[in-house]
Amino acid sequence: MSPRKSDSRERMIVSTAALLREYGAGGTSIDRVLEHSGAPRGSVYHHFPGGRAQLLDEAVALAGDFIAGLLDAAMQDGDDPVQAIDGFFVLWRERLVSSGFRAGCPVVAVAVETNDDAPQLARSAASVFARWQEALAAPLVRHGLTEQRAGRLAAFIVAAIEGAVIMCRVEQSSAPLDAAAAEIHDLLIHALRPSPH
Amino acid sequence: MSPRKSDSRERMIVSTAALLREYGAGGTSIDRVLEHSGAPRGSVYHHFPGGRAQLLDEAVALAGDFIAGLLDAAMQDGDDPVQAIDGFFVLWRERLVSSGFRAGCPVVAVAVETNDDAPQLARSAASVFARWQEALAAPLVRHGLTEQRAGRLAAFIVAAIEGAVIMCRVEQSSAPLDAAAAEIHDLLIHALRPSPH
């Protein structure tokens, strides 16, 4: 594969993720991806024989991996899970604010539509959420929580962030995410505190 | 307006909300609404001079009011906010399970897309979320929380439910919503417990 071809493949996936974040799956057509990425039309089925569904799928996986990488790094740094989870909220807040509250989560964009013709999209979204939950749960277990409680908290944190990001976009304010961050922070401090007995 | 015309107007709004829940905004075209509702094509611009955006807007308002009504009723019943909020989670769980995890929240479906041509959609979604937050916060204030904490918890609960519903759909399981319900339940019991000092 020539470097140029590989570039246009990568650019199309990055453009798809950017469009998903801002315009949702409904607003992410192949035409719009070509316009956004500047890739030649002929490259679509060359690079993505599965068409638009494959493009969405790869964008979800790329964005999911990118965020999982940031989360893993934060979770390993300093070994303070509360601080790391605070930082995960800060990351989402920055993504919202820097886009003027226009851009949300590309995984959610795909997850809110039932795609009977492309069931792999829901599976890809589920596997991103699972990956994030594992990254959140592992340090909570290392700090003494049971696997069950850590898993429950990890699912809850991902849910609270994803829901809050959606609310922030339509309210044009970070208040819902700040509310979730503050409540989760206090909850984690409480959950990780050594039992008094 | 003849009863038949009024019927087709109502049917189109209900169909729009049903399609939004399952297929997202991208999958809710006027053609699909006509097919789902059985309404005649000529009725679209007669009943909805603002076209598709007006139809989405009215569907968001209708669904938002419907859920707010259930929430108000639960919050007034028996005056136990923890039980009422548990019941709000049960309501969302039933909606997911009865649809085979195919249908989510129609308000979220609209909120995940930036609609530069129809900014009223984001405002309508924001006003539904605000309405639900008020319904959740009021009884928490009556039970002794400050306005600020009650508001923070209310935003957090709406965020956790909306995010968890999205995760449940792609996981084909109620586990994320059950995790959020359990954590919120314990958190509310703790928040509403009289201070020991």
Mean pLDDT, to the nearest integer, of B180-192?
97
Asked if residues B25 and B113 have their Cβ atoms less than 8 Å apart, the reply is yes
Which of A114, A152, A166 has its CB closest to that of B183?
A152
End-to-end CA gap in chain A: 64
- Return the biggest CA–CA distance within chain A: 68
Tell me the percentage of chain B whose pLDDT exceeds 90. 85
Mean pLDDT, to the nearest integer, of A11-19?
97
Q: How confident is the model at residue A9 (pLDDT cuts 50, 70, 90)?
A: very high
Q: Which of residues 13-52 of B touch A (CB under 8 A)?
A: 22-27
Helix (H) or strand (E) holding A147: helix A147-171
Q: Is B133 helix (H, G, I), strand (E, B) or coil?
A: helix
Q: Does B134 touch chain A (CB under 8 A)?
A: no
From A26's Cα to the closest Cα of chain B, the distance in A is 3
B194 has pLDDT over 80: no
Q: How confident is the model at residue B1 (pLDDT cuts 50, 70, 90)?
A: very low
What pLDDT, on the 0 to 100 scale, is given for residue A1? Answer: 45
Most confident segment among A67-71, B78-82, B106-110: B106-110
Q: Say how far apart CA A44 and CA B102 lie, in whole Å.
A: 30
ipTM value: 0.95
pTM of the model as a whole:
0.95
Q: Is A194 helix (H, G, I), strand (E, B) or coil?
A: coil
pLDDT in tens, A36-62: 999 999 989 999 999 999 999 999 999
Which of B108, B130, B171 has its CB closest to that of A126?
B171
Amino acid at A125: A
B146 has pLDDT over 70: yes
Mean pLDDT, to the nearest integer, of B86-104?
96
**Which pair of structure tokens corresponds to residue B59?**
């569907």
pLDDT in tens, B152-169: 999 999 999 999 999 999
Amino acid at B113: E
Taking CA atoms, what residue in A is nearest to B129? Answer: A167
Q: How confident is the model at residue A183 (pLDDT cuts 50, 70, 90)?
A: very high
Tally of CB atoms within 10 A around B61: 18
**Which pair of structure tokens corresponds to residue A158?**
């991902």
pLDDT in tens, A77-134: 667 999 999 999 999 999 999 999 999 999 999 999 999 999 999 999 999 999 999 9
Mean pLDDT, to the nearest integer, of A173-186?
98
Nearest residue to B161 (alpha-carbon basis) of B148, B179, B143? B179
Q: Does A119 touch chain B (CB under 8 A)?
A: no
Q: How confident is the model at residue B76 (pLDDT cuts 50, 70, 90)?
A: confident
Task: Verify whether the Cβ–Cβ distance A112 to B104 is below 8 Å.
Answer: yes
Q: Say how far apart CA B127 and CA A150 lie, in whole Å.
A: 34
B3 has pLDDT over 70: no
Helix (H) or strand (E) holding B89: helix B81-98
Q: Does A147 touch chain B (CB under 8 A)?
A: no
Residues in chain A with CB shorter than 8 Å from the CB of B183 are: 152-153, 156, 187
End-to-end CA gap in chain B: 64
pLDDT in tens, A124-175: 999 999 999 999 999 999 999 999 999 999 999 999 999 999 999 999 999 9
Taking CA atoms, what residue in B is nearest to A168? Answer: B126
B136 has pLDDT over 60: yes
Helix axes B30-37, B51-76, angle to 10 degrees: 60
A196 has pLDDT over 70: no
Nearest residue to A42 (alpha-carbon basis) of A8, A79, A80? A8
Task: Verify whether the Cβ–Cβ distance A167 to B162 is below 8 Å.
Answer: yes
Q: Which of residues 71-100 of B touch A (CB under 8 A)?
A: none
**Which pair of structure tokens corresponds to residue A32?**
């719009």
Which of A25, A155, A162 has its CB closest to that of B24?
A25
Q: What is the DSSP letter of A53?
A: H
